[in-house]
Structure 1
Amino acid sequence: MAIHEDWNRKFCLLDARPLRSWDEGRDQGWQEVISLQERAAEMTDKNSSKNSTRRLLLLGIASMCSSSIAIAASPNAIAIQVWKDPNCGCCKDWIIHLEKNNFSLKVNDQGNNAARARLGMPQKFASCHTALVGGYVIEGHVPAEDIQRLLKEKPQALGLAVPGMPIGSPGMDGPVYGARRDAYQVLLIQKDGSSKVFNSYS
């Protein structure tokens, strides 16, 4: 009986080591699997971050290229500064008209009356926006082609004006006005406040 118990005890002790080693190996294996999963997740996050950064860089480069293309498309754009009411829709339409005709605009959504007074345009020729281009004052819905002609001919004058807001002039010719076209004149304003007809539309 003693021999049997001693043999059984030795057998259990001999078998306990491999069982413990197997359990330890299993736990270590799971830890390694978990560690690998965590490292894979970290690599995925890093790659995702790198990919996001790469996409942002590519988008930035594409934006710069498109901006360069836009600038290159209009190398001779005429710089003009505009003062207008921020809520005036016809002023915005006039600005679009100028942009379509190779003008590069700096727009101030305030100070129209102050700019007109500062630049010396008489109040009797007033409209809803005032502009400055090439040293000339532009008041109201003056067509782009008349401004271009003014800059080409360079007369001794203050600038051009279309007093009021005549329907049919650039910016006042949208669908809301239908086919209506009122006759109006573009005036060449002299530095002494006098004027003469620069162009007529009917």
Structure 2
Amino acid sequence: MKFNPLKNYMKKNNQITIISLVVAIIVLGGAVAFSKSQKTDSSDGNADKIKAVVYKSPTCGCCVQYVAYLKKQGFEVETVSTDDMASIKDQHGIKGNMESCHTTIIGDYFIEGHIPMEAVSKLLTEKPEIDGIALPEMPAGSPGMPGIKAGAFEIYGIKGGESSDFMSL
């Protein structure tokens, strides 16, 4: 029997090629499986978006502007028009002196009024033990409101219907 170095070389190369292909398939399959496990909903591109539900009066135009502001900030927004905003505010313990024109629900919190993103981010990041935050009335220059900001936005934290200072912007 003759020793054929070319045949021996080809046999080793085929084994290496086959092993490399098997390893590549395993790695690729693992990467695809990992990628799919990281996505909760890839069908509409909203996998990483936080959902916000905005309750507003059907006739309120500034609320529409606040919805656009939230969308621009990356939220997935559902808008609910209702003629009974009082019951929404009562349900969340928002008293008259803390009211604005719309109420937004994000997770377990309410966001009352035209609150800037800095306050919303603080709320969602720090997760304080409150029911929500409020910027009473409809101050000029706040997100969704026309005009020039005249002074600091005083934002209140609300728990059980009682308010306290949350932040000033």
Same fold (TM over 0.5): yes
Higher relative contact order (CA 8 A, sep 6+): 2
Decide which structure has the larger Cα Rg and report it: 1
Structure 1 contact 121–158 (Cα < 8 Å) conserved? no
Residue 200 (structure 1) aligns with: 168
Residue 87 (structure 2) aligns with: 114
Query: How far has the Cα of 1:145 moved from its partner?
Result: 2.9
- Which of 46, 53, 56 is residue 81 of structure 1 equivalent to? 53
Structure 1 contact 81–132 (Cα < 8 Å) conserved? yes
Which secondary structure does the structure 2 equivalent of 1:86 belong to?
A: coil
Query: How far has the Cα of 1:107 moved from its partner?
Result: 0.9
Percent of matched pairs sharing the same residue? 36
Distance 1:155 1:168, change over 3 A: same
Structure 2 contact 51–75 (Cα < 8 Å) conserved? yes
Which secondary structure does the structure 2 equivalent of 1:194 belong to?
A: strand
Which secondary structure does the structure 2 equivalent of 1:137 belong to?
A: strand
Which secondary structure does the structure 2 equivalent of 1:149 belong to?
A: helix
What number of residue pairs does the alignment pair up? 126
Gaps of 5+ in 2: 1-41
- Which of 128, 137, 152 is residue 164 of structure 1 equivalent to? 137
Structure 1 contact 86–109 (Cα < 8 Å) conserved? yes
Q: What are the within-5 Å matches in structure 2 for residues 48-197 of structure 1? A: 71-72=44-45, 74-110=46-82, 111-173=84-146, 177=147, 180-183=148-151, 184-196=153-165
Query: How far has the Cα of 1:199 moved from its partner?
Result: 2.4
Query: How far has the Cα of 1:87 moved from its partner?
Result: 1.3
One-letter identity of the residue aligned with 2:164: S
Measure, in 2, the Cα distance between the counterparts of 1:100 and 1:153: 22
Measure, in 2, the Cα distance between the counterparts of 1:192 and 1:160: 11
Instruction: Give per-residue Cα distances to partners, 1:37-79, cap 9 Å, x unaligned.
Output: xxxxxxxxxxxxxxxxxxxxxxxxxxxxxxx68x32x431111
Gaps of 5+ in 1: 1-67
Structure 1 contact 97–144 (Cα < 8 Å) conserved? no
Which secondary structure does the structure 2 equivalent of 1:81 belong to?
A: strand
Structure 1 contact 127–162 (Cα < 8 Å) conserved? yes
TM-score between both structures, scaled by the size of structure 2:
0.68
Measure, in 1, the Cα distance between the counterparts of 2:85 and 2:77: 15
State the superposition RMSD in angstroms. 1.7
Structure 2 contact 93–161 (Cα < 8 Å) conserved? no
Q: Per residue, is there more helix in 1 or in 2?
A: 1
